[in-house]
């Protein structure tokens, strides 16, 4: 069969149900083959959005997301989406068309060295130089993307490979010399970790996104309850532990709660699982958990000891390591530590001023109250942090956000991907007006495919997080952060695309509008919440400060 037909059949054999992308000359043969397949193709309006949608699909479903793009500008438009997935360890396959092999290196029309460009931001990438290797490469790509520490894999396919004749013999299994992800923790290290846990009086579990990626949330709950230990999460770990659980302190770091940050600062043992200790989590590293020994469990050995000192390193899959530790630890009462945490919780709750104005925190609280099972994606900035603080996740993969790269414009197309993964659920993109404008064209995609994503815009007419920094640290010199879009009607823009638009200006309008929006199941809904313009995100750890130097504002 044609190489293009082999590609589509291989994707079918991998169980791919949805592909996000945009066709072009170099990949047109693959789209021709796709025409007769059972795979659903979602035509996005920008390649960056296609990759974000595949990413959102992967994060919501736990399956590998797939995106297509043509050569040249189509391929280069995918780079931000690939880098976003790479930073957050999201398993996606990006397949790009390429000029024919005979023209590579000749500056042909729409030629770009996309494998070279994306090498720093992919887990692995390929250019198919021999049609006979095509199927093996696809099988390898899915295996690499989804095993060990997941990540994006790019396959660049020259156009003449898509028309070449290949024998379809798709591999059932794959073995890659030199790539053998380690899942079981070393027994001696597991035993030492258990000893430290039993010796500690003030333990805290720091749960990262690796818990979610390894499907280890049930083991984490049993682990926390057995020690017992309070749990703080990274932004990417939000959802790994139910936030209504009495042991959950919520997310920690720059905009985490005071009590979570204090717990991590005053503890005598940090049990870090599936986290890379990013600067937004640790604050000033030399002030991080100064009284604590640190156990670090991670499937990627490169992350252990990279950012913070580690006393007991354990390389392995979070689920497998937790199972092993659970066999050898026992319950130990730690009343003094529990009382201390309870005092901090009472003294330093998350709060905002209720002065009759429309506050973004109130909007997000109402979203949770009305639809607690909804999947939430976020853009990046103040809206993201408010969502992390006030939307209390109940289960893994419920909260989807760009953590590592911090990509504005991520949330809306990611919501499209999540909605395709779970068509019967409500999916809400908590957005800022600045971020939403970056991929607003995907309203056309939603209308075209009847994708009922809800977009809740916290419209403060600013690039809000940068403005907040300018207010606090740059003497209110608001350089290039005022969007001046008071007259911009997001509701009318949504209607212009064929969707539904709503405007909310008063707190009393919030609940009724949200309930009305959640009832709409055949079109995108954009709600323009005209929130208090100068509202800031607090608590906040200033850049370069320790977690215990958090300010309330």
Sign of torsion, CA 365 456 448 33?
negative
pLDDT classification of 331: cutoffs 50, 70, 90: very high
Domains defined for the chain, CATH in brackets: 3-163 (3.40.50.970), 187-347 (3.40.50.1220), 360-529 (3.40.50.970)
- Laid out side by side, the sheet with 153-158 consists of 40-43, 18-21, 65-69, 92-98, 153-158, 124-127
**pLDDT-derived band of residue 485, with 50, 70 and 90 as boundaries?**
low
Among 87, 95, 385, 465, the active-site one is 465
Confidence at 477, pLDDT banded by 50, 70, 90: very high
Catalytic-labelled residue, pool 9, 12, 63, 110 = 110
Q: Determine whether 110 is an active site residue.
A: yes
pLDDT digits (tens, 9 = 90+) for 269-286: 999 999 999 999 999 999
CA 54 to chain CA mean position, Å: 12
CA-to-CA dists, residue 404 to 87, 173, 289, 408, 548, angstroms: 5, 32, 22, 12, 23
**Annotation marks residue 159 as catalytic:** yes
Q: Is there a catalytic annotation at residue 441? A: no
pLDDT tens by residue, 209-241? 999 999 999 999 999 999 999 999 999 999 999
Least Cα distance to 457 among 429, 438, 484, 477 occurs for: 429
User: What is the C-alpha to C-alpha distance for residues 275 and 234, in angstroms, rounded to an integer?
Assistant: 7
Give percent of the chain above pLDDT 70.
100
Catalytic residue from among 1, 109, 343, 505 = 109
Give 287-319 pLDDT, tens digit per residue: 999 999 999 999 999 999 999 999 999 999 999
Give me the pLDDT at residue 484, please. Answer: 76
The stretch 485-506 carries a mean pLDDT of 93
User: Active site residue: 20, 29, 47, 410, which one?
Assistant: 47
Tell me the pLDDT tens digit for each residue of 170-189: 999 999 999 999 999 999 99
Q: Is 339 exposed, middle or buried (0-12, 13-18, 19+ CB in 10 A)?
A: exposed
Alpha carbons 538 and 256: distance in angstroms, whole number: 8
As a whole number, mean pLDDT of residues 522-541 equals 97
- Catalytic one of 123, 139, 159, 238: 159
Would you call 359 a catalytic residue per the annotation? no
pLDDT for residue 113 is more than 80: yes
Determine the length of the chain. 553
Confidence of residue 328 (pLDDT cuts 50, 70, 90): very high
Inter-residue contact 156 to 125 (CB < 8 Å): yes
Specify which residues 203 forms β-bridges with. Answer: 269
Q: pLDDT digits over 397-434, tens only?
A: 999 999 999 999 999 999 999 999 999 999 999 999 99
pLDDT of residue 242: 98
448-476 pLDDT, tens per residue? 999 999 999 999 999 999 999 999 999 99
230 given a catalytic annotation: no
Residue-level pLDDT at 542: 94
With tokens 């607690």, the residue in question is 372
Instruction: Answer for the pair 16, 412: CB distance below 8 angstroms, yes or no.
Output: no
């Amino acid at each position: 069969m044609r190489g293009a037909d082999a590609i589509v059949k291989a994707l079918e054999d991998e169980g791919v149900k949805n592909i996000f992308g945009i066709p072009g000359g170099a990949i047109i043969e693959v789209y021709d083959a796709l025409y007769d397949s059972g795979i659903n193709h979602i035509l996005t309006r920008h390649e960056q959005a296609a990759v974000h949608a595949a990413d959102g699909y992967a994060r919501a479903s736990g399956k590998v997301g797939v995106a297509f793009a043509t050569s040249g500008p189509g391929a280069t438009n995918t780079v931000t989406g690939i880098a976003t997935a790479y930073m957050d360890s999201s398993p996606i396959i990006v397949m790009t068309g390429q000029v024919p092999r005979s023209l590579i290196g000749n500056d042909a029309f729409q030629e770009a060295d996309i494998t070279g460009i994306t090498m720093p931001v992919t887990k692995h990438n390929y250019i198919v130089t021999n049609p006979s290797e095509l199927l093996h490469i696809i099988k390898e790509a899915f295996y690499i993307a989804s095993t060990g520490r997941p990540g994006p894999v790019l396959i660049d396919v020259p156009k003449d490979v898509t028309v070449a004749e290949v024998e379809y013999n798709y591999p059932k299994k794959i073995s890659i010399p030199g790539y053998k992800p380690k899942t079981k923790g070393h027994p001696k290290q597991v035993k030492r970790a258990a000893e430290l846990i039993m010796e500690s009086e003030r333990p805290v579990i720091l749960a990262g996104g690796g818990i979610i990626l390894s499907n280890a949330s049930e083991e984490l709950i049993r682990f926390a309850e057995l020690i017992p230990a309070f749990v703080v999460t990274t932004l990417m770990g939000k959802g790994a532990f139910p936030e209504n659980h009495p042991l959950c302190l919520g997310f920690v770091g720059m905009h985490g709660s005071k009590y979570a940050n204090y717990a991590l600062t005053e503890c005598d043992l940090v049990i870090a699982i599936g986290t890379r200790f990013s600067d937004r989590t640790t604050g000033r590293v030399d002030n991080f958990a100064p009284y604590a020994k640190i156990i670090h469990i991670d499937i990627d050995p490169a992350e252990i000891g990279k950012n913070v000192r580690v006393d007991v390193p354990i390389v392995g899959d979070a689920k497998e390591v937790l199972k092993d530790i659970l066999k050898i630890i026992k319950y130990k009462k730690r009343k003094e530590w529990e009382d201390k945490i309870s005092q901090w919780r009472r003294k330093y709750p998350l709060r905002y001023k209720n002065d009759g104005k429309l506050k973004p925190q109130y909007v997000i609280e109402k979203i949770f109250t009305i639809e607690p099972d909804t999947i939430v994606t976020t853009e990046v900035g103040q809206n993201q942090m408010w969502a992390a603080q006030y939307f209390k996740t109940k289960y893994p993969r419920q909260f989807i956000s760009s953590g590592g790269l911090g990509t504005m414009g991520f949330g809306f197309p990611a919501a499209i991907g999540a909605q395709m993964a779970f068509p019967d659920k409500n999916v809400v993109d908590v957005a800022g007006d600045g971020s939403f404008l970056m991929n607003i064209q995907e309203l056309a995609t939603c209308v075209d495919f009847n994708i009922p994503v809800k977009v809740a815009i916290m419209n403060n007419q600013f690039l809000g997080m940068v403005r907040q920094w300018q207010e606090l640290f740059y003497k209110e010199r608001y350089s290039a952060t005022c969007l001046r879009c008071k007259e911009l009607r997001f509701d009318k823009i949504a209607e212009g695309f064929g969707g539904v638009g709503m405007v909310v200006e008063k707190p009393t309008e919030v609940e009724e509008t949200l309930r009305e929006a959640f009832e709409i199941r055949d079109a995108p809904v954009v709600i323009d919440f005209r929130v208090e313009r100068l509202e800031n995100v607090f608590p906040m750890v200033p850049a370069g400060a320790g977690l215990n130097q958090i300010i309330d504002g």
